[in-house]
């Protein structure tokens, strides 16, 4: 079934540890995004990539990095996790500017 | 920047109609999306408006007034499975056409 796969589904991480959240899509979408979702704050954009080889900063990029080596994969890395990064992380993709986002099932991350 | 407001929570009865309002302020409006999100799941696309007027899709309709910075999502013939959060999201040219989401409206459908 075509779509976006995120891994892991959930993770408990000690503060200070490095963590990479994986995201793979098989729809050949050019654009991919990482959002975090926190209660009362909605979905906030962390980083995005309009096409393979390019990335950009979203609304809340600090403490996160991304790479886009190919069309399908868009990993999100927390270099040194902090408790404020406890959240649900959603990866998304779309075909173009006016097309809807397709979301992965999310990664629930708890930083202790 | 952008400011997107929608009510936090609404309650309605099965079979009834509920209207979820969304107001926004942007400098380069380029489309508004509505998503549905069930608890613990990913958001799924419901509707898209870029021109003024009403878009109808079965039991769900979405309305846009660009001059008023206003949209609503109308859910008719409510079913228990419609209990979910509904997210309003605005695309803004001045923000590189990225989507900015409101905080979401949680709708609880009661029997």
Higher pLDDT, A10 or B98: A10
Query: Mind telling me how many Å the CA of A87 is from chain B's nearest CA?
Result: 12
Identify which of A75, A83, A87, A82 has the alpha carbon closest to the alpha carbon of residue A34: A75
- What is the H or E stretch that residue B36 is in? strand B29-37
B1, pLDDT greater than 80: no
Q: Using one digit for the tens of pLDDT, what is the confidence trace for B32-69? A: 999 999 999 999 999 999 999 999 999 999 999 999 99
Which of B27-36, B43-52, B94-103 is predicted with the least confidence, judged by mean pLDDT?
Answer: B94-103
Identify the band that residue B2 occupies on the pLDDT scale cut at 50, 70 and 90. low
Residue of chain A whose alpha carbon sits nearest to that of B86? A42
Give the contacts of A75 (CB within 8 A, at least 6 positions apart). A20, A21, A22, A23, A66, A67
**Dihedral sign of CA atoms B30, A32, A76, A109 in order:** positive
Alpha carbon distance A38, A8 (integer Å): 18
Residue of chain B whose alpha carbon sits nearest to that of A96? B97
Mean pLDDT of A12-30: 97
Structure-token match 């997107």, residue found: B4
Mean model confidence pLDDT for chain A: 95
Give the contacts of B77 (CB within 8 A, at least 6 positions apart). B15, B17, B59
A70, pLDDT greater than 80: yes
Minimum-distance CB partner of B42 among A44, A58, A106: A106
Give the contacts of A72 (CB within 8 A, at least 6 positions apart). A24, A25, A26, A28
Residue of chain B whose alpha carbon sits nearest to that of A39? B103
CB spacing of A98 vs B31 below 8 angstroms: yes
CB spacing of A100 vs B45 below 8 angstroms: yes
Identify the band that residue A40 occupies on the pLDDT scale cut at 50, 70 and 90. confident
Identify the band that residue B95 occupies on the pLDDT scale cut at 50, 70 and 90. confident
């Amino acid at each position: 079934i075509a779509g976006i796969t995120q891994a892991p589904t959930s993770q408990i991480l000690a503060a200070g540890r490095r963590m990479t959240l994986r995201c793979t899509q098989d729809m050949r979408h050019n654009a991919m995004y990482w959002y975090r979702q926190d209660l009362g704050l909605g979905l906030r954009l962390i980083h995005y990539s309009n096409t393979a080889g390019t990335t950009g900063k979203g609304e809340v990029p600090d403490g996160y990095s991304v790479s886009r080596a190919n069309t399908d994969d868009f990993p999100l890395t927390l270099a040194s996790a902090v408790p404020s990064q406890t959240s649900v992380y959603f990866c998304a993709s779309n075909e173009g500017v006016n097309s809807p986002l397709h979301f992965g099932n999310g990664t629930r991350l708890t930083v202790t | 920047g952008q400011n997107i407001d929608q009510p936090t929570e609404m309650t309605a009865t099965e079979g009834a109609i509920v209207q979820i309002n969304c107001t926004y302020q942007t400098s380069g409006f380029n489309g508004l999306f509505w998503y549905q999100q069930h608890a613990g799941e990913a958001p799924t696309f419901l509707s898209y408006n870029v021109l003024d007027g009403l878009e109808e899709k079965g039991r769900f309709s979405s309305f846009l007034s660009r001059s008023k910075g206003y949209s609503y999502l109308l859910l008719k013939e409510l079913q228990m499975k419609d209990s979910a959060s509904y997210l309003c999201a605005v695309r803004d040219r001045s923000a590189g056409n990225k989507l900015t989401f409101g905080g979401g409206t949680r709708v609880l459908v009661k029997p």
